[in-house]
């Protein structure tokens, strides 16, 4: 966590198992919405969820857009490192791990208009930018993904005493 992330007061740790379950729940929702020609993962956070959803929906064409949202958050500007050109005829499913402020989603939506934007987790400020998501957490929650953490075994205070 960097200084720019001091706005986060709570931590929501997500295990590999929970992430897998949540991604499969997202795949079930997406299954009801029709078929897609390709998945576009928003790197890096969207890479693992996109792989799980691609497996469940049997989508073998997986592309990426690469955006530096660290720069975006701290300086209010976007650095697109890799973009894609959209074929108007294609139904594209964009996958990211979460929407927080919604800035990344806005940039990607502008790049790929008309695509379906799905995330596993969403915070209130970013929610309007997402078409489908599974779990909402509060704006001041830091979602700790399994690829950013190690399991630890130590005493955790009850939630009531963490306020
Ligand atoms: O809604 P926003 O405020 O734009 O935040 C959401 C974005 O932030 C995270 O990426 P991060 O900046 O951590 O980059 P990374 O995925 O490459 O680690 C996440 O994967 C989203 O893409």
Q: What is the mean pLDDT of residues 125-151?
A: 96
Phi, then psi, of 149 in degrees rounded to 5:
-145, 170
Phi, then psi, of 133 in degrees rounded to 5:
-145, 170
- Under 8 Å between Cβ of 49 and 97: yes
How far does the centroid of ligand 1 lie from the alpha carbon of residue 103, in Å? 9
Residue whose tokens read 């969207």: 46
What is the 8-class DSSP label of residue 4? G
Q: Catalytic residue among 63, 100, 125, 148, which?
A: 100
**Active-site annotation holds for 96:** yes
- Computed over every residue of the chain, the mean pLDDT equals 91
Q: Which of 69, 127, 141 to mutate to test the pocket of ligand 1 (most atoms within 8 A of CB)?
A: 69
> Over the stretch 56-89, which tens digit does the pLDDT of each residue have?
999 999 999 999 866 444 545 678 999 998 888 9
Phi, then psi, of 90 in degrees rounded to 5:
-80, 145
Tell me if residue 85 falls in helix, strand or coil: coil
- Under 8 Å between Cβ of 39 and 62: yes
CA dihedral 28, 34, 40, 41 (to 10 degrees): -10
How far does the centroid of ligand 1 lie from the alpha carbon of residue 159, in Å? 26
Q: What is the mean pLDDT of residues 109-127?
A: 97
* pLDDT over 70 (residue 55): yes
Let me know if domain 7-161 sits in CATH 3.40.50.2020.
yes
* pLDDT over 60 (residue 103): yes
Q: What is the mean pLDDT of residues 112-118?
A: 96
> Over the stretch 15-54, which tens digit does the pLDDT of each residue have?
999 999 999 999 999 999 999 999 999 999 999 999 999 9
What confidence score (pLDDT) does residue 3 get?
A: 43
Report which of 139, 114, 115, 116 is spatially closest to residue 126, judged by C-alpha positions. 139
């Amino acid at each position: 966590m960097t200084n720019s992330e001091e706005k986060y007061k709570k931590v929501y740790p997500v295990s590999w198992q929970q992430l897998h379950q949540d991604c499969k729940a997202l795949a079930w929702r997406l299954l009801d919405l029709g078929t897609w020609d390709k998945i576009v993962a928003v790197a890096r956070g969207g890479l693992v969820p996109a792989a799980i959803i691609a497996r469940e929906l049997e989508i073998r064409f997986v592309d990426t857009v690469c955006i530096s949202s660290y720069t975006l958050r701290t300086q209010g500007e976007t650095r697109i490192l890799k973009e894609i050109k959209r074929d108007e005829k294609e139904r594209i499913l964009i996958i990211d791990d979460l929407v927080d402020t919604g800035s990344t989603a806005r940039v990607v939506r502008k790049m790929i208009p008309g695509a379906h934007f799905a995330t596993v987790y969403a915070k209130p400020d970013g929610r309007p930018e997402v078409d489908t998501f599974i779990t909402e957490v509060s704006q001041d929650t830091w979602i700790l993904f399994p690829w950013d953490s190690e399991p630890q075994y130590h005493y955790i205070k009850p939630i009531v005493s963490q306020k």
